[in-house]
Structures are given as C-alpha cells and as structure tokens.
Structure 1
C-alpha cells in the first residue's frame, strides 16, 4: 500500500513566473478572494494584456504562480496561488534591493492547507537568492486572518502604510 506523504505533496508544487497562458487563472484568483472563479468565465481584455506584457518585460517585476500537479517535464498543472513581486533598488540596507510582495492569493477552496506558506516561503527564498535585504508587503487592515498569517511567517508590523487613489 502506498500513500502520498506531505513532502511528496509539497514537491508536486511548483513556483514559477507566470506565463501568458496563466493570465486567466491569475485574474480568477484576483477577481474574488472568497469564492472560486472559473478562469474561462473571465474576459482578458487589452488592459490586462498590456499590464501582463509590461510586467513580463520588466526584470524588476514578476507575477509568480504556485502550480499543483506539474508533470516531470514541467507541463500541465493547475494554478492554486499567485502573487506579484517588485524588486526595488535602494540606497538603504547597503544598496541592496528590497522585494515588495502584492496581490497574494490562494484559491478559495484550497486555503488552510499550507499552500500560502509554501507560496510565501518559496517567494522569500527567491528574494534572498536574488540578494534582497528585505521583503515587505501591505495588507488591507480588515484582513485580520492574513495579518496573523504574515506574522506567523515572521513579518513584523513596523510601519503604517498610506495610499492615495488617483
């Protein structure tokens, strides 16, 4: 009798830069935090196409996807999480970059099973490997569960953030 271990499940997850073919799945994750949205039901309009192309062409930006069920050649699979990372050069921290993480999402029906931790741990390691000295993020003040999650990952509430809608 064989069983799938937790380490096998984790190994079956791949974090990689999003490809254009992933765009509907990413938009579905961003469309509704509380419900699963069918990517086929979304319209990928010109604005999304332009935004994705700009991110994809910029070496300081990336949309990362957490994909489950990828085969040995890296094909197939289902997007179960995503986020966007912007690498910001700066004069602080000895001139090191910092990584700004935004739009963190795990598919609504897959939350609570450790996928968010895997998504964030692998993204943080990616930033560390790149030479970033700091990882930062913002989270809506109403998302108390998310705040506990980020605190459990070691993030500290060190600053107040401000936004100005234009």
Structure 2
C-alpha cells in the first residue's frame, strides 16, 4: 500500500468514500458535479491542504483523508495538522487500513514540522471515537459549528 496525494482521477473513489461512508459504492457510478470539481481544484492548488489516498497493490483506493496544515501563534508558532474526512472503504474495515492511513498521515505531518495533529469526528460515529482513542488521540476540546 502507498499513501499519496490524490489526483483528479481519484475523485470519484474519494467521493464514494466520503459521501457514502457506510456503504461500498462503485466509483464509476459516482456523479462528479461542478461543485466537487471546483473543490478538488481548490484543494489541489492550496499548499496548506492535501487530499491523501491510501492505495492498495491493485490500484484500488482503500481510504482517504484531507490534511490541512495550520500556522498559528500557539505551540510557539508551530504548525498543526487538521485531519478531516477520514474514511476507509466499508467493505475493508477491520483490516488495519485506518490505522495504516493515519499512521502514515501522522508521519507526513511530523516530517512537515507539525507538533500536533487534531481531528474532529461526528458525535454519532462512536466506533470511530474508540478507534481514534486506540491510536492515542485524546478528547481535549469540545467543538462547535455554525451552519451558514
């Protein structure tokens, strides 16, 4: 397996994971509309964002996440990494792929000089919370969102 930056060709597979997180969807059936195209172009052009995919030996996208690198004055000016949309194919969960995906993404953040990795997870995803805790992530803050 390899962890690499997603290309435009990966977009249907990534959307199959992110939009249909609890089902295994054939990427060839995923509609990639203009909004998704623009979002991908924006991510791809931004040096502080990476859309990463975990690719199996057969070329199949097994997992994905978006990493955003955030500069700040906290932590003595060190960057932090924010992981969003962490997904593994529903039919391949329980095989250690999520652990591999996150371990490699954390290593990538360390290599960039980040001193902290943070992520958010929907409160309804209780299995994911246990998984993140098993990797050493700690619940340290409550998050708030405002839909606009």
Q: TM-score per shorter chain, which class?
A: over 0.9
Matched residue of 2:47: which SS? coil
Give structure 1 stretches of 5+ with no counterpart. Answer: 1-12, 71-76
Matched residue of 2:67: which SS? strand
The alignment status of 1:28 with 2:10, answered yes or no, reads no
Q: In the TM superposition, what is the alpha-carbon distance from 1:14 to its structure 2 partner?
A: 0.3
* Alignment counterpart, residue 117 of structure 2, candidates 129, 132, 135: 135
Per the alignment, residue 8 of structure 1 pairs with none
* Alignment counterpart, residue 159 of structure 1, candidates 133, 141, 144: 141
TM-score with structure 2 length normalisation?
0.98
Deviation sequence 1:111-159 (CA, Å, 0-9, x none): 0000000000000000000000100000011111100100010000000
* Alignment counterpart, residue 64 of structure 1, candidates 28, 31, 52: 52
| Runs of 4+ that moved beyond 4 A | none
User: Relative to structure 2, which stretch is displaced further, 144-153 or 30-39?
Assistant: 30-39
Q: In the TM superposition, what is the alpha-carbon distance from 1:42 to its structure 2 partner?
A: 1.2
Per the alignment, residue 90 of structure 1 pairs with 72
TM-score with structure 1 length normalisation?
0.88
Matched residue of 1:141: which SS? coil
- The whole-number CA distance in structure 2 between the counterparts of 1:137 and 1:113 is 22
* Alignment counterpart, residue 87 of structure 2, candidates 105, 111, 132: 105
Q: In the TM superposition, what is the alpha-carbon distance from 1:43 to its structure 2 partner?
A: 1.2
The alignment status of 1:147 with 2:132, answered yes or no, reads no
Say what the alpha-carbon RMSD is for the aligned residues.
0.7
Give structure 2 stretches of 5+ with no counterpart. Answer: none
Asked which structure has the greater CA Rg, the reply is 1
